[in-house]
Amino acid sequence: MFRNDYATRILRLSVPGMIEAPMRFYATENDDDGATLSWKTPPHLLDPYVDAAGEELAMVGRELDTLFAAIAERATEESE
């Protein structure tokens, strides 16, 4: 997932942290023809850069975590 507004904020806070962009979802097929959606959480990806960048970067990670959870929820809803 890439959002320019978040990329700009992260870049302002931590140039090294931008190596993690874009943050990704992975959809993999299971043996039973189902699928699994997985991802590394934004706080996990940004945590190595928080000491140098400050608490605001951790806050951005939490905001993105909320967005990722909402996307995952919507992507895994049963269709009617």
- 56 occurs within a structural domain: yes
Q: Rounded to two decimals, what is the model's pTM? A: 0.88
The count of domains in the chain is 1
Domain that holds residue 60: 4-75
CB 24 within 8 A of CB 71: no
- pLDDT at site 80: 53
- 80 occurs within a structural domain: no
Concatenated DSSP letters of 36-58: EEEE--HHHHHHHHHHHH-HHHH
Taking the CA atoms of 12, 13, 19 and 25 in sequence, report the sign of the dihedral they define. negative
User: What confidence tens digit (pLDDT) does each residue in 22-49 have?
Assistant: 999 999 999 999 999 999 999 999 999 9
| Arithmetic mean of pLDDT over the chain | 94
Confidence of residue 60 (pLDDT cuts 50, 70, 90): very high
